[in-house]
Structures are given as C-alpha cells and as structure tokens.
C-alpha cells in the first residue's frame, strides 16, 4: 500500500507542476496579447457583449493566480479545484462550439503564435489536464525530497508533452495526408 501512496503523491505533485506551468504560460501569453483577448472570447459567442471585456481583464490574472497557487509549496485544495473548474469551463466552451460546427475559431489557449482551431482533441486535452489534478485532491500534504524531485521532473515532462500537442494540433489539416 505504501507504493500506491508514493505513486499518488508523485502524480499529485506532477499534476500541480505541469498544470501550474500551463496556466503560467497562458497568463503570460494572454497578458502580452491583451488587445486580442476580448475578440477571442467574443468569438466563442457564449457571453453577452457586456461580459466580454470584464472576462478578458480577469482571465490573465486568474490564470496567474492559479499558476502561483499550483506551483507554490503550500498544498491547499483551492488552486486545484479552481483550476479543474476553469479547465472544465474551457472544455465546455470548446465542446459547445465544436457541436455548433464553429471549429474555425482560434481556441485562445494562450500561445498566440499557434493558430489552434477548435476540435474534439482540444476538448479532450483540457479534460486530460483537469484529470491530472485529481490526484492532488486526495494526496497527503508532505512529500519526501526524492518523490518531489521525481514529481517535478514528471510535471516538466507532462508540460513538454502539452507543448508538443499544441504544436502538432496547430499544423494544417490534410497537409501531410
């Protein structure tokens, strides 16, 4: 049973690191391109017009706050729960637009140099990102140093896979078929 506890601890910390880095990157990218963000949010056609500007103002600081909370040494459930909720909200917004056939719009996922059009795979990606945080909701608070180092390495690996997925999903469809 101790092995499962250690694996759960490493999985929890790896999820916190990887998703913390995802939110850090998203916050920085959205802050750098803050003039474009209201248009990206409006393209989803899910918010009333008056709600778009406040959402665009609040989203980058919220993502930064979540990144800090997830990457900090303090283990509290609020950053994980808020990050899961935000990832599920993003997945839902994408899924609604995919179901409407509005796949031509950019996801606004934070990397302005990548044109990522909405797709089922982006919805699935956000669900996987949310699932990576689930072990942190049940994991013990203390992490021994070897497990922490392993978790950080795994979290960095997951983050690199996230970046690779984003690059591959931004490739033009059918170009290599």
d(CA 87, CA 70): 14
What is the Cα gyration radius of the chain?
Answer: 17
Place of tokens 């690199």: 160
Please state the domain extents for the chain. 2-169
Q: Looking at the whole model, is its pTM more than 0.85?
A: yes
pLDDT value of residue 83:
97
User: For every one of its 177 residues, what pLDDT tens digit does the chain have, with 9 covering 90 and above?
Assistant: 466 677 888 888 899 999 999 999 999 998 888 898 999 999 999 999 999 999 999 999 999 999 999 998 776 789 999 999 999 999 999 999 999 999 988 888 766 566 788 999 999 999 999 999 999 888 665 777 887 888 899 999 999 998 888 888 777 765 443
Task: Count the residues in the chain.
Answer: 177
d(CA 135, CA 111): 27
- Please say whether the beta carbons of 34 and 55 come within 8 A: no
d(CA 11, CA 8): 5
Beta-bridge mates of residue 117: 106
39 phi, psi to nearest 5 deg: -65, -40
d(CA 103, CA 169): 13
């Amino acid at each position: 049973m101790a092995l499962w506890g250690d694996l759960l601890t490493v999985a929890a910390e790896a999820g916190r690191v990887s998703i913390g880095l995802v939110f850090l990157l998203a916050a920085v990218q959205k802050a750098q391109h803050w003039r474009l963000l209201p248009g990206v949010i409006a393209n989803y056609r899910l918010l009333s017009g008056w709600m778009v500007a406040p959402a665009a103002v609040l989203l980058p600081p919220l993502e930064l706050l979540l990144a800090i909370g997830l990457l900090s040494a303090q283990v509290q459930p609020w950053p994980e729960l808020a990050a899961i909720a935000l990832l599920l909200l993003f997945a839902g917004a994408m899924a609604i637009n995919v179901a409407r056939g509005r796949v031509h719009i950019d996801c606004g996922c934070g990397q302005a140099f990548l044109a990522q059009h909405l797709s089922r795979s982006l919805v699935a990606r956000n669900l996987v990102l949310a699932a990576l945080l689930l072990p942190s909701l049940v994991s013990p608070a203390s992490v021994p140093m070897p497990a922490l180092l392993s978790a950080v390495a795994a979290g960095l690996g997951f983050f690199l896979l996230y970046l690779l997925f984003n690059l591959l999903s931004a490739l033009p469809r059918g170009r290599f078929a």
